[in-house]
Amino acid sequence: MSFQRARTDEQRGERRRQILAAAAAMLTETPVAELTLTALSRRVCLAKANVLRYFESREAVLLALLEAEVADWIAELESAGLPGGGPVGERAHLLAELLATSLTRRPALCDLISAQATVLERNISAETALQHKLAVHGYLEALVRFTGRHLPELGDEDVASLMQTVMLIAVAAWPASRPPQAVLDAYAADPALAVMCVDFTDVVRRTVEVTASGLLARSQ
């Protein structure tokens, strides 16, 4: 750390950024469930009490990191340059491919999303919950606007339904696609069980295409 105690708003902001950067680095090495406040404190060379000056809990750190990861993901989607014309089925396919592959390239985001409701929102104050939900609501609106530009045939309500479905599937499919070693050993012992393996990218891609197709058919 370049300063021992954060005294100004700028220094406090920098300290928060350093804590979030350390947490992000740790998620490349360990899953969300195993990232502890003690380990995070050691990584940033601070006592746990000092980390808690900037975030009220481990979960609050990870929720802030989730918000940053979602913002980066949306920026990536916006810069992807999907074509604006062509048959609606082709555009839906390209959108499905982009959403599925971009999420797959972001394991930390997927891990955080899958733990959001069951873990990360369980040890926070009402104030932190409100701030987080407002941030998430803004990001969902951005995703709806992005998707609506590429599938304008869907109204805002159907686009919102599509993105909600996609995110819920991602929440379930991510942990299912990464089973523990004992389950992998069971699959290896009996090849017939391979049908139970979940391919995250394929599940998300198919969810986007099938849901978009169904919504388009219903709207017509």
DSSP the chain: ---SS--SHHHHHHHHHHHHHHHHHHTTTS-GGG--HHHHHHHTT--HHHHTTT-SSHHHHHHHHHHHHHHHHHHHHHTS---S-S-HHHHHHHHHHHHHHHHHT-HHHHHHHHHIIIIITSS--HHHHHHHHHHHHHHHHHHHHHHHHH-TTS-HHHHHHHHHHHHHHHHHHHHHTS--HHHHHHHHH-GGGGGG---HHHHHHHHHHHHHHHHHHHH-
Residue 1's pLDDT is 43
* Dist CA 119 CA 115 (whole Å): 5
Residue 5's pLDDT is 61
The type of residue at 143 is L
Residue 12's pLDDT is 83
Q: Tell me the domains of the chain and their CATH numbers.
A: 1-55 (1.10.10), 65-219 (1.10.357.10)
10-residue mean pLDDT profile of the chain (220 residues): values are 61 89 93 92 91 93 95 94 84 95 96 93 94 94 94 93 94 93 91 88 96 89
Structure tokens at 42: 């050691």
Residue 140's pLDDT is 92
Residue 194's pLDDT is 81
Residue 6's pLDDT is 59
* Dist CA 109 CA 171 (whole Å): 10
Give 171's contacts (C-beta < 8 A, 6+ positions apart).
Answer: 113, 114, 116, 117
Residue 4's pLDDT is 56
pTM for this one? 0.88
